[in-house]
Structure 1
Amino acid sequence: MKTTLFKTSLLCGLIFASASCKRDETITPEIPPSDGTEMTLQGGEGASNAVNAVYVDLSAEKQTSIARNSWHLGFYTGSEFRVIVNNQTDATALATEFTDINAVNPSNVDFSAMVFNQTAPSPALFDLLDDSLGRINQTAIAEISATASENRVYIVNPVLATTVAAENLWKIRVLRNGSNGYTLQYARLADTNFQTANITKDATYNFQFFSFTGGAVQVEPQKADWDFVWSKSMYIHFFQGRYVPYSFSDIILINHLASVQAAEVIFENGDFNVTYADFSETHLNQITLTNNRNTIGSTWRGILSAPFGALQDRYYILKDNDNNIFKIRFLSMGAGTTDGGNRGYPQLEYKLLKEG
């Protein structure tokens, strides 16, 4: 259960004016999780290309909106030394043969593989994207080696596009900094001098985030303080007989690295016919929760064919990292003519089923 720390001073004796106050005592009250509410997520302007990612903490009735383009790299704070690129802007990372960042320039690297063509995508493009399932051991950038000479220079394209211009690319090299940190070398592709930044792991977060233009930046809340993120994000899509990279709007990814679990419940025309209103704690033994970060994904909404908008034949069960269990129903998202919502500002409601 999440708690809030505060201090309370013992009262000084009023009878003995000369008596001093005793030291403060720390009290840690337990704050019960929210019983549930309705929420409109603040995705911001842009409609299907909404500018923000929204991190949601159900137990605290809290949402945190962060500009999707506010960061370029995320440095993993767990036991492995891993670096992610920004899948909320469809970033890619291409390995070079170099270990000297100053030796890399537009004339000696071939970045044509970073060009995106949806109708005929390069199979190699998938290797330049982080894993769509969020598996930390399958990042586009190889695990950072303890042997410095094994860490190669990468080219990072902050956005996926049908054309790639050298002036928009960055080159990076990441080294380990002791047992609990990273050293980042970074520069524009054509630059002959690089900048350096040191990043220290903080286990209260999943990642420490960095912007090439702004330095260290706060993106995700502490890992105990969010359950899922709503955003536009790189995923995969079955298109013309094969899977292709696809930038999905309105995708919802659970905080799988912090042990959040979820399940989808489709109650119409299926074996499980319990509606959202009727679902209670007694039904939980019929539900299988999983740690797949894409459990909700894009399944909650329809945009390509009817029914459009937030689908009303399903809802979701989510267990947070404090073992509180909620049911969630999406009410609108602003797609089609019958949804009634505002694209970029999806509405949902949720209810506590079981306190952790």
Structure 2
Amino acid sequence: MAKTRATRGATLNKDSVRFNLPEREGDGDWLDDRETVDGEAPPLRTTVTVEKPKTVLTRNNSPDIAFDRSVNPYRGCEHGCIYCFARPSHAYHDLSPGLDFETRLFAKPDAPALLRAELGKRGYVCRPIAFGTNTDPYQPIEGKWRITRGCIEVLAACNHPITITTKSDRVTRDLDLLAPMAAKGLAAVMLSVTSLDPRIAMTVEPRAPSPAKRIAAIRTLTDAGIPVFVSMAPVIPAVTDHEIEHILEAAADAGARGAFFLPVRLPHEVAPLFRAWLDTHFPDRAGKVMATIQSIRGGRDNDPNFHTRMRGQGPWAELLRKRFHIAAKRFGLDGDRLKLRTDLFRPPAGPQGELF
């Protein structure tokens, strides 16, 4: 059994075998070499490295998702969600998708300026920009760096639509920007709630705000006039699937207007990390969990194919879908997806904006 670290998600720090990188223990800091206490390894400290990208707007043409562009102010995520499909991206930095992903973060302080330049380019066509598609834009370091807020300020000034997906109630700190945007039909928030059980949440998403805080955030955002949807992404069989109906009821009571879910995905290095996590925290059901996931994923740990990777297949996937849709309809969360306005967009003023 892998040794655990308090308030961290992954139990391993193996580097990607795809890049033939060596396995690491900790981050090389002397604090990581201390003796374990009560069976737990000493806590890892979080470090942040400034990243200087040339562009901040990422485009995609995936048939599985509803947006074609996104902004990610940070790489890595301190929330430490064990299932996070973004973990493998850390391997491209010669870092582990395990504990390095949670502790060795990258921030892009130039993101607001880069975004402003993108919006001012000749021929830019306005479509909603998604935040939180890779790592959480409101993870703890946003409190200091405020890069997400800076980007929202740029979008608000241009009347540009935005969608935000987050596990954090920190999003409510930007109500002064988001509420006026929502009043114009320019903003929507997806709050991710995967469990209402504090014990499960602390294990699955160790540094994310508690479920109670997230439900409260739904109410706060709704009261401010911001449309909120609840995201049950992912649902983990035999760990969180029994909570589907309870989560939807709590979200509806808090004012959410819609909901969606995804079965857990385990791409690349996420699968062995997830298996080790199961062996550590749920040894009594680890085999059942993985057998059910493989049933949903066509006999494999992960299904990478378009169209099926977000839905799953087989009887277990169909059962989850039926339960979800019945509960969503019961609690009034089965409405159509919100369409944000794009006709109000005005390019930013300045050397580029003056071209218009």
TM-score (norm 1): 0.24
Which of the pair is proportionally richer in strand? 1
Task: Select the structure that is richer in helix.
Answer: 2
The higher radius of gyration belongs to 1
TM-score relative to the length of structure 2 = 0.24
